[in-house]
Chain A
């Protein structure tokens, strides 16, 4: 085969199993020179496993890999570099205390003496060539997520990679950062690099790629030209059946004040101001979305309301729906408000506050991974009953109901939840939290890592709760979803509320701007948009 007409990378019949689970079976894939190939598939469809085999992290059970038409064996990341393949992983592998350039040069053995000035210079050259903005001497721990990602990309370029594999690079980026990344990718493509981008976001696939390879359940379904594809045709290939991608958003009815947070401030364990004068009101019967780049105080805000984290100042006032006497839309009068700050989760429950919380870290906080479904369902209610022996009968019934109603796929109720797939874990958690008939439901990133069907199942559950008059607080990362699901959207930026918007009126760009704008910028009055605040 001619080296120049042969594809940059070709996979033939690649298979890989983990125990009895087939991660990839008989996958063929072709990456042409100078193209951007999107690798599309739901979570667990084997995208990352497949690419890890190209990058030398796993070794295939079966099949062949060809680079420029030559069959190669890649049994370590070192081999991958030899063939000029570089992978940018979803979870960054950087040393916080080192500078960008030090991280980039780490592990490079090119026979020359280590000279950090030369490295800095070379990093600057590569960055300039593709339009990255970076200071090679800056330490990693001082960097934002998108800067860290830039370092990871430069790391593989520095090693001379011609084939770049990016594993869900946009998952952690704001819309503005994403479009910057795409510009860079296009420049690299023009420079002759071949790029594979793993993603499950359809609009990004359509925006950046030349061709799309779709994986489903470890198998290669098809590779199609992006120009001839639509969101719905790709979804159908990805899921295997037609899916409607609409989120019903009913106009909130009969809303009542449920939670009033005022001037909440607090520091995190490192002494950083993580919540800074946060004030908002959540109403029963509506979904309040919370947007913000990761680490802007979302976690602390929810944990403060749930009684897990104690903020230093401010008020968290809860209006008990049981005492909603008047119909003025405000629910109970101010004297009936209960302050939840400085209360433990136990005290909050004993006060009769029906608060449910789906935390971000499902197996680390919301559930106990080694316990079975029944015991996990029991977490909220195990204290019931007069004796010190556990009563598992009711929890078992509830667990069975959750499994039936939400379609949890599990061998049986005795399976440890850790063994379930991400979507099923989340259904168990959300099912338990909803089962206690909450009046306030908080969910942090409830669809992270879930496939399309599971995600829509969760959106529907949240909408059902809204229709039942529950005040829903939804922390999300996908702005498209936040804008489609929320009634109002609160934007957090470095622990401050940089805006509360009407989700039906605003745009992605406006939200993205509020997420990232510096506090020092002159206040143009966009804080606390009146359009969003209901009275």
Chain B
């Protein structure tokens, strides 16, 4: 009788049907811890930073070194989180519909440009009624955001064009359109617009409070919209199966366009806040890649608006902590980018262990099989 059982594969991977919530959390935390350890080791070998120093600097980046800087750092973190979260919320309804909009960058940027344009052209004329100017800016931003978002939606709905490529290309159009406007607006063609004098939102004690309020309202609204409203229900049906949607009589084209109008509206709001509450200006890099980072935020949270608070916080914190590393160790910004990449890789990669469980073939097992083989 042959001893064939020694050829058995060592590792078995099986799909989990369910997983206890605490296990999922433990796996995710473990992944982040391992990623941090790996990053500090990498920093040690590349720039000679002691792992402890490395970690301390990272967290100083988040929480500051004393009370005053902590105050500033935490407000910065909250602001970055909020803007990232807003853009992710804009993407979410489309993503639930499996409409892969990677054009939030351009949709926000063109909205920011619209707000800036209103201030540029009407700022002085409406200097006495600031609130009217702000309303005009908001209206212009949202209109611009909707236009940018709905063009690919119309093409998708009517001719089933690929929305991913389309929205990506719209980003470039937005970027160069901003560059064009800046050249036109600056007398010496320096393309530096500088701080606009008018159209500033009131600060309410802190520069960022208004942004947080807008973001919170949008988060709750989006949660209710997606889970408890009729249009949100239609989004889920269309996302899962357009055949089911047609079977039940949902107008798929209408749902696609309506959803992208919503995306454009929130992108518009974000662009408005960027100009009226934060930058008071616009450049071709005003959004700074947040439109792409927001895609990761939405995906990591599996499109749940409340979980997105956590994932946008994670990404904003990574950016801020990594920034501190750059200045403390005076290294190029490439290293923090590598770090963020490693951490995201682990955070996303650990989903594998949440979906699948891995069994190692026990050594004892092989001998049992052999004994049984001997009997027969």
At the interface, is chain A mostly helix, strand, loop or mixed? mixed
Which B residues are in CB contact (< 8 Å) with A370?
236, 240
Contact residues in B for A17 (Cβ distance below 8 Å): 14
Q: Are A12 and B376 within 8 A (Cβ)?
A: yes
Binds A, one of B32-40, B71-79, B83-91, B241-249: B241-249
Let me know if B333 is at the binding interface, CB within 8 A: no
- In the complex the two chains form, is A73's CB within 8 Å of B4's CB? yes
Q: Is the Cβ of A346 less than 8 Å from the Cβ of B240?
A: no
**Identity of the chain A residue whose Cβ is nearest the Cβ of B227 in the assembled complex:** A390
- Give the total of A residues in contact with B, Cβ under 8 Å: 46
Q: Chain A residues near B12 (CB, 8 Å)?
A: 59, 61
State whether A365 touches B249 (Cβ < 8 A).
no
Range of interface residues on B (Cβ < 8 Å): 35 or more
Which chain A residues (399-418) contact chain B, with CB distance < 8 Å?
none
- Chain B residue at minimum C-beta to C-beta distance from A12: B376
Shortest Cβ distance from B6 into A: residue? A73
Beta-carbon contact of B241 and A364 below 8 Å: yes
Choose from B224, B231, B243, B247 the contact partner of A357 (Cβ within 8 Å).
Answer: B247
Contact of B249 among A59, A346, A378 (CB under 8 A): A346
Q: Nearest chain-A residue to B246 (Cβ)?
A: A308
Give the shortest distance, in Å, between B10 (CB) and chain A (any CB): 12
Contacts of A13 in B (CB 8 A): 372
- CB proximity to B under 8 Å, residues A8-34: 12-13, 17-21
From the candidates A20, A75, A375, A419, name the one contacting B233 in the complex (CB within 8 A): A375
Report whether A369 and B233 are in contact in the complex, using a CB–CB cutoff of 8 Å. Answer: no
Q: Are B244 and A379 in contact (CB under 8 A)?
A: yes
A90 within 8 A of B: no
Q: How far is the CA of A367 from the CA of B241 in the complex (A)?
A: 9
Chain A: minimal CB distance from B261 (Å): 15
Q: Which listed residue, A344, A346, A368, A390, touches B229 by the CB 8 Å rule?
A: A390
List A341-359 residues whose CB lies under 8 Å from chain B: 344-346, 348-349, 357, 359
A158 beta carbon closer than 8 Å to chain B: no
Min distance, Cβ B352 to any Cβ of chain A, angstroms: 15
Q: Does A72 sit at the interface, judged by CB under 8 A?
A: yes
| Residue of chain B at shortest CB distance from A363 | B241
User: With an 8 A cutoff between CB atoms, is A382 at the interface?
Assistant: yes
Is A371 an interface residue when CB atoms closer than 8 A count as contact?
A: yes
Residues A64 and B249 in contact, CB atoms below 8 Å apart: no
Residue on B nearest A418 in the bound complex, by CB: B240
Which A residues touch B241, using CB under 8 A? 364-365, 368-369
Does A133 sit within 8 A of B, measured CB to CB? no
B240 touches A73 (CB 8 A): no
> Does A231 sit within 8 A of B, measured CB to CB?
no
Q: Chain B residues near A213: list those with CB within 8 A.
A: none
Q: Give the complex CA separation of A361 and B357 in angstroms.
A: 31
Q: Give the docked Cα–Cα distance between A375 and B233 (Å).
A: 9
- Decide: A371 near B240, CB < 8 A? Known: A75-B7, A308-B246: yes
- In angstroms, Cα B243 to Cα A365, docked, is 5
CB distance from A31 to the nearest CB of B (A): 16
**CA of A367 to CA of B248, assembled, Å:** 10
B372 partner residues in chain A, CB cutoff 8 A: 12-13, 64
Query: A272 — which chain B residues lie within 8 A by C-beta?
Result: none
Partner of B17, one of A21, A59, A390: A21
What per-residue 1/0 map shows which CB atoms of A311-329 lie under 8 Å from chain B?
A: 0000000000000000000
B16 at the interface (CB under 8 A from A): yes
Is the beta-carbon distance between A18 and B14 smaller than 8 angstroms? Answer: yes
Q: Is B9 close to A, CB under 8 A? A: yes
In the docked arrangement, what's the CA distance between A361 and B241, Å?
11
Spell out A's residues near B (CB within 8 Å). 12-13, 17-21, 59, 61-62, 64, 66, 70-73, 75, 306-308, 344-346, 348-349, 357, 359, 361, 364-371, 375, 378-380, 382-383, 388-390, 419
| 4 further interface pairs, Cβ-Cβ under 8 Å (given A345-B249, A346-B251, A368-B237) | A64-B373, A71-B1, A75-B7, A379-B244
Chain A to chain B contacts (Cβ below 8 Å), 9 pairs: A59-B8, A64-B373, A71-B5, A364-B243, A364-B244, A366-B247, A368-B241, A379-B244, A379-B248
